[in-house]
Chains A and B, each alone.
Chain A
Amino acid sequence: MSGGSATLAGAAALALAVVFGGCLSTSMSAAELRVPVLLGPVPCIGCGPAARLPAPVPSARIAGRRRFYDFLFPSYLWGLADDSQLGISADRLLYWTPCGDDLQLSNLRAHAWQLTVPFLIYVADASVEGDAQEMTVPGASCGSP
């Protein structure tokens, strides 16, 4: 590959990396859990903001994270690209929460960043992280009414 075409290929690869890194997204949900996973101060329908007793278990750190790597050097071509899901989802970590307890989320934070070393390395990262604490619900039942 000649110097000119290599530079052109490198520039094209960088431009594509920016485009694909720009599509990077991630999310946090708990769609498979069968207990409330609460954000905010109101624990139930018809309740006001209320404090509940934390269950005697440590809080868990949960995350949804996606990261994209693109190494352009030394080939000036795609090199290696990796798109992987990191972190532990709420669905996986908290699946065995007793049905009489709730989970309270706190310290929820979202972070997105990208690192660019032109023609060498391109890294994009998006993450949503938080802490989940099991809460004891007085008089809770497990079945739907």
Chain B
Amino acid sequence: MTTRALVLLCALAVAGCAGARVNVTADRARYPLSLSPVVRDAGGRPYDARTLVKVGWLDIRETTPGFVYSALSVPRTRDFSDEINAQVAAAGGEAVVDLTVSIGGGCGWLNGFPILNALPLWPGCVPVRLTGDIVRRRNTVP
């Protein structure tokens, strides 16, 4: 019984938590970014898969580290604008549709590392991935 209590106390003493949080922005994007399959033109007309043609695939991955049990992340905000602008321009696109913001599992081993993640300086991380279809209107010529 005493041994069990000791084991319990030891386990609680080395309990830990690690991770990271990050704000995802695209404040300097020069193209419309839509999480749905629809985007409008300047006249307010909606375009979808029937009237858009896919010209490329957006794929950006950024991993943000965090410390002090995920309370402190560096940087606090990730702006994906530059990479989005570069990939859309390279593909000759006018917009991004079906944008998906996802978190992968790449940091699991670090965030869940037993015992060491009890230390406030033990790093965690959050791997953010943005994917989507780079499109342009079907009836326009690049």
Instruction: Tell me the interface secondary structure of chain B in the complex.
Output: mixed
Using a Cβ cutoff of 8 Å, how many contacts connect chains A and B? 237
Residue among B35, B98, B124 facing the most chain A CB atoms (10 A cut-off): B35
**CB distance B112 to A114 under 8 Å?**
yes
B81 at interface by CB-CB < 8 Å:
yes
List A contacts of B114 (CB < 8 A). Answer: 14, 18, 116, 118
**Interface bits A29-65 vs B (CB < 8 Å: 1, else 0):** 1111111111111111111000000000000000000
Do residues A28 and B102 form an inter-chain contact, with CB atoms below 8 A? yes
Q: A16: shortest Cβ distance to chain B, in Å?
A: 11
- A23 beta carbon closer than 8 Å to chain B: yes
Q: How many residues of A contact B (CB 8 A)?
A: 65
Contact status A124-B45, CB under 8 Å:
no
Partner of A27, one of B8, B14, B39, B100: B100
Q: Is A110 a contact of B22 with CB atoms below 8 Å? A: yes
A22 contacts chain B at the CB level, 8 A cutoff: yes
Q: Is the CB of A116 within 8 A of B112?
A: yes
CA distance A128 to B101 in the complex (A): 7
What residues make up the interface of B, taking CB atoms closer than 8 Å to A? 7-8, 11-12, 14-48, 50-51, 69-70, 81, 94-95, 98-109, 111-115, 117, 124-128, 137, 139
Residues of A within 8 A of B (CB): 14, 17-19, 21-47, 90, 99-100, 102, 105, 107-120, 122, 124-128, 137-145
7 contacts between A and B (CB under 8 A): A14-B114, A25-B103, A44-B39, A113-B20, A114-B111, A116-B17, A124-B112
